[in-house]
Amino acid sequence: MAVINGSSRENGNTDALTQKALDGIQYTSFYLKKHKINPIDDQRHDVGGFDKVDDDYEELINQILQHDVLIFATPVYWYGMSGVMKNFVDRLSQSLRDEKLNFKERMSNKKAYVITVGGDSPRIKALSLIQQFQYIFDFLGTEFVGYLIGEANAPQDILSDPKSLGDALSFNKVLSKYTEE
């Protein structure tokens, strides 16, 4: 199980909720912010395809693809995923064009979850973000099994929101069924 984390700060609410949701479960964290991931140059329609990019994306996606269950954890920034997460997602287009990677087929065998935390009525206003992830996973053939929306503002607020914690517990039960290599 891999957690792909788009937070801009460690130990924030997204982290805290993710840790609650994954309590007792083994997983590998990928903090996108710690890696150099350039915005995409859209070369999908260039004859030569995408140029090689001098950053960490390719190695990162190779490591992520080792895992069967992917959890996308992102704060809700301006009613969407963080820019750091979005730059990572945009680069998936490059993996799609990388024939030797066999990207889409590998993604179609994985299960995905989303964990997101926002401050402004996220259980309503983050629904378009959930919808966006659904389209992303539909395109990739990845099963979007479930999502967890937490509500918090100031750091560590999430730990005092009973609804978020209750839902994290319910989420934890669902995730506990995976026992990974």
Q: Which residues bind its own copies (CB under 8 A)?
A: 7-9, 12, 33, 39-43, 45, 75, 77-84, 86-90, 92-93, 120, 123-125, 127-132, 134-136, 139, 144, 146-147, 154-155, 162-163, 166-167, 169-170, 173-174
Q: Which residue has the tokens 């995730």?
A: 175
Q: Which residue has the tokens 């996606």?
A: 61
Closer residue to its own copies, CB minimum distance, 2 or 15: 15
- Taking CA atoms, 151 is separated from 17, 67, 119, 132, 136, in Å, by 10, 28, 6, 19, 24
Identity of the amino acid at 80: G
Residue 116 Cβ vs its own copies, minimum distance, rounded to whole Å = 13
Contacts 24+ apart (CB under 8 A), 122-131: 122/76, 122/149, 122/150, 122/151, 123/149, 123/151, 125/76, 125/79, 126/76, 126/79, 128/79, 128/80, 129/76, 129/79, 129/80, 129/81
Closer residue to its own copies, CB minimum distance, 68 or 157: 157
What single string gives the DSSP state of each residue in 61-73? HHHHTT-SEEEEE
Closer residue to its own copies, CB minimum distance, 165 or 181: 165
Residue 39 Cβ vs its own copies, minimum distance, rounded to whole Å = 5
Closer residue to its own copies, CB minimum distance, 2 or 88: 88
Identity of the amino acid at 154: A
Closer residue to its own copies, CB minimum distance, 33 or 106: 33
Closer residue to its own copies, CB minimum distance, 106 or 119: 119
Structure token digits, residue 58: 């390719």
Residue 105 Cβ vs its own copies, minimum distance, rounded to whole Å = 19
